Amino acid sequence: MKLYNTLTRTKEQFVPLQAGKVKMYACGITVSGEAHIGHGYQALIYDIMRKFLEKQGFEVTYARNYTDVDDKIIAKSKETGIPADKYAADMIKKIDGVMSLFDVDEPSLWLKATENIDNIIDFIQKLIEGGHAYAVPCGDVYFDVTSFKRYGCLSNRSVEDMLDGVRVENGEEKRCPADFALWKSAKQGEICWDSPWGKGRPGWHIECSAMNRKAFGEQIDIHGGGRDLIFPHHENEIAQSESLTGKQFAKYWTHNGLIKVNGQKMSKSLGNSLLLEDLLKEYTNEAIKFALLETNYRNDINITDGIFDEAEKHLSSFYKIISDVEDKFGKGGKGNGEIDKRFDEVMSDDFNTALALSDLFGIFKKVSAKLGAGDKSCADDVNQIRKTYSLLGIFKKDAKEYFAEVNKKHPEEISDEAKKLAEERWQAKKDKNWAQADALRLKLDELGYTVKDSKDGYTLSKK
């Protein structure tokens, strides 16, 4: 199995620090606002990585964090009048609810900055004792980047390059403009904790290093996050952690691409943030996942008009074949090892979800041909598709459940004429007027609709 390591800029054979076991950490959400599509995408990618590693037989301990105290959260607290700790707790609860609707599994460990203050203070004290950090009279503590010779190893930047454009804020007492805050002295009315340097709170970068150390010890196998975190966040994590331990912090660094909207970087300032909660009101979680996973995780994703509609269309065509196969031959076929083998082969090359999804079009074409020929082995194929591709978060629903959800989210797509014809057809079936029922089904087909019968009634959907 190979994965791309940002640290070396190459694909490497994956060999964990301890045979058979993987320690994996991904930077989570800073809870200053609601979850957007980028947050959902990052959570999805690392959930898939964890699951595929487990599929390959590894025992994975996967941790994610919530940054629940930082400058942005304090600013929101001042803006709303809600205490920072309560604001963060309320936002975490809301984000958890949205993520459950998106159907991404919980990590093995949830870590929060505010639950690790003593651990963070201990970490900072040891850095000061080792000559890698220093306190200033106002109560701030900074990391001395010149004390760590490998600073810039992840982002391939030199300290001199980093100094270009660096601005020292009023009141900062840094030895070097590139030095970064480990502990920030509290301003009047801000959330704070006692420390050897006075009341204050942790800097952003130290949180992840300290939480990793507490959860996993001195080293981990995989550290992940969005590509925008390479510098300064992940660069600073390496400096802090390796200065403290003298050991390589993370063996493999993985970074997912960023979300763009119609070619522009998604940001609040541009007003183009796509809230995950809003998207889930309009599309199934499987359609959103399908659209996101059609791009290799290391590349940026450009969200254009119609991208989720197109994904819903593809999924609906696949679910239609699944429905037809399961209706004719039942559920729970034996499986098809070739489909699973190909999936493993593709995903073992740096989690290539784009190719895995591309394979589905050929797979379903064969399934459809088998169904038309009355070949029962198509049921084995469908069972394997469900089992294998559920790792990507798709084909987890009953077909009727899926189509009912699509129809509920897009009721305007079914015309009044189609609804009327469907009702007439259902009545014709109840009257055992089979010729009339078949004629009405043909009319619906010509209008672009599929009608699916069951003992409880029928479902009507767009093709």
Task: State residue 158's pLDDT score.
Answer: 84
Please write the tens of the pLDDT for every residue from 134-175.
999 999 999 999 999 999 999 998 887 777 655 556 567 899
Amino acid at 267: S
Summarised one tens digit per residue, pLDDT across range 94-141 is: 999 999 999 999 999 999 999 999 999 999 999 999 999 999 999 999
Torsion of the alpha carbons at 95, 101, 102 and 108, rounded to the nearest 10 = 70
305 has pLDDT over 70: yes
**pLDDT level of residue 90 (50, 70, 90 thresholds):** very high
Residue 321 has pLDDT above 60, yes or no: yes
165/168 Cα distance (integer angstroms): 10
Please name which of 262, 117, 97, 111 lies closest in space to residue 195, comparing C-alpha atoms.
117
For tokens 């941790």, name the residue. Answer: 63
Closest CA to 104 of 61, 42, 159: 42
